[in-house]
Amino acid sequence: MAALTLAVERLAAATVLSCHGALVAASAMQLETALSQLLLRPEPRIVVNLAGVPVIDCTGVMMLRVTAGIAVEHGGSLVLAAPNAQVVHTLREGGTLSTIPTYRTVDAAVLRDAHELVKDPEPGQSTTTAWPMNSSDRRRTA
């Protein structure tokens, strides 16, 4: 797997941390170091751009959740932006979509555009699709 690379862009409304590579246990220290630096600012407003992240594991998710909590304690926030479908699935499975605002695009995250939030499904709505079934696999009932 490719190494994680990070880029920081300071905007008037927020600081955008763009990640490129897998956010997994092997890259956790890199991510932690970058996020720690961003938390040093007063009232940090951090947008984590996940557009370049093909996969995230529970270590990456926990790092984001802990940092989001610390940002709030310091009067700021941490939000996520532009995750792919696989990353959204992992965030959903870990309960993170309900705890960290996640937006479809970086611009929406910077502007906090509620119309562009990635939402958890409604209660009772399945997050998985049924396995495809060939007609020959179906059993006939009489």
Whether 46 maps to a domain, the answer reads yes
pTM, to two decimals: 0.83
Is the pLDDT at 76 greater than 80? The verdict is yes
Whether 98 maps to a domain, the answer reads yes
User: CA angle at residue 36 from 38 to 51, to 5 degrees?
Assistant: 65
Is the pLDDT at 1 greater than 90? The verdict is no
Whether 125 maps to a domain, the answer reads no
Length of the chain: 142
Q: Which tens digits make up the pLDDT trace of 80-139?
A: 999 999 999 999 998 899 999 999 999 999 999 999 999 876 455 444 443 344 444 434
Whether 138 maps to a domain, the answer reads no
**CA atoms of 104 and 136, how far apart (whole Å):** 40
User: pLDDT value at position 121?
Assistant: 64
User: Do residues 9 and 16 lie in contact, with contact meaning Cβ atoms separated by under 8 Å?
Assistant: yes
Q: What is the CATH number of the domain that holds 46?
A: 3.30.750.24
**CA atoms of 142 and 127, how far apart (whole Å):** 33
Tokens for 87, please give them.
């990353």
User: CA angle at residue 30 from 27 to 31, to 5 degrees?
Assistant: 85
Domain region containing 14: 5-117
Buried-exposed string 30-54: b where 16+ CB fall within 10 A, e elsewhere: bbeebbeebbeeeebbbbbbbebbe
Q: Which of 43, 42, 94, 47 is CA-nearest to residue 34?
A: 47
Whether 132 maps to a domain, the answer reads no
Is the pLDDT at 141 greater than 50? The verdict is no
Whether 64 maps to a domain, the answer reads yes
Whether 39 maps to a domain, the answer reads yes
Whether 136 maps to a domain, the answer reads no
User: pLDDT value at position 3?
Assistant: 83
**CA atoms of 106 and 62, how far apart (whole Å):** 21
Q: Which tens digits make up the pLDDT trace of 15-65?
A: 999 999 999 999 989 999 999 999 999 899 999 999 999 999 999 999 999
The total number of structural domains in the chain stands at 1
**CA atoms of 95 and 90, how far apart (whole Å):** 9
